[in-house]
């Protein structure tokens, strides 16, 4: 299973060499928001018009050290993957700019 997460490019530049990262990506509910490739078009509009440049990171869930739970989003009416914990570098499959991915 492949999950996509997004982050500011400036944050990615700080963590790209780390073996484990993501503490600042964890929301107040205790997880990192993610989506599947087929859901990306639903969340991509949220990044339009923002000042900062964003990147898209594709993760292999089978290699993640943290638990992934599918949880229902009432605003989008479907299940989204939530990562409960940090991300390990071995799980990173690819990194692209948001502009390149859209």
Query: For each of the chain's 102 residues, which pLDDT tens digit applies?
Result: 999 999 999 999 999 999 999 999 999 999 999 999 999 999 988 877 777 889 999 999 999 999 999 999 999 999 999 999 999 999 999 999 988 877
Candidates 48, 22, 52; CA nearest to 102 is: 48
Q: Is the pTM of this model over 0.85?
A: yes
The residues spanned by each domain of the chain are 2-101
| Tokens matching residue 66 | 């943290």
State which CATH number among 3.40.50.620, 3.30.1330.10, 3.20.170.20, 3.20.20.370 fits the domain covering 2-101.
3.20.170.20
What is the rounded distance in angstroms from the CA atom of residue 28 to the CA atom of residue 44? Answer: 21
User: Is the separation of the CB atoms in 20 and 87 below 8 Å?
Assistant: yes
Q: What is the pLDDT of residue 1?
A: 93
Angstrom distances, CA of residue 98 to CA of 8, 26, 43, 62, 68: 10, 20, 11, 24, 23
């Amino acid at each position: 299973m492949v999950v996509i997460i997004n982050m500011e490019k400036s944050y990615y530049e700080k963590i790209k060499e780390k073996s484990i990262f993501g503490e600042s990506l964890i929301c107040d509910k205790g997880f990192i928001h993610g989506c599947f490739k087929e859901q990306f078009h639903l969340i991509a509009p949220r990044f339009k018009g923002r000042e900062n440049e964003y990147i898209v990171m594709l993760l292999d869930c089978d290699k993640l050290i943290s638990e992934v739970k599918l949880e229902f989003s009432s605003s989008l009416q479907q299940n989204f993957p939530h990562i409960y914990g940090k991300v390990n570098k071995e799980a990173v499959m690819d990194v692209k700019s948001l502009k390149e991915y859209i």
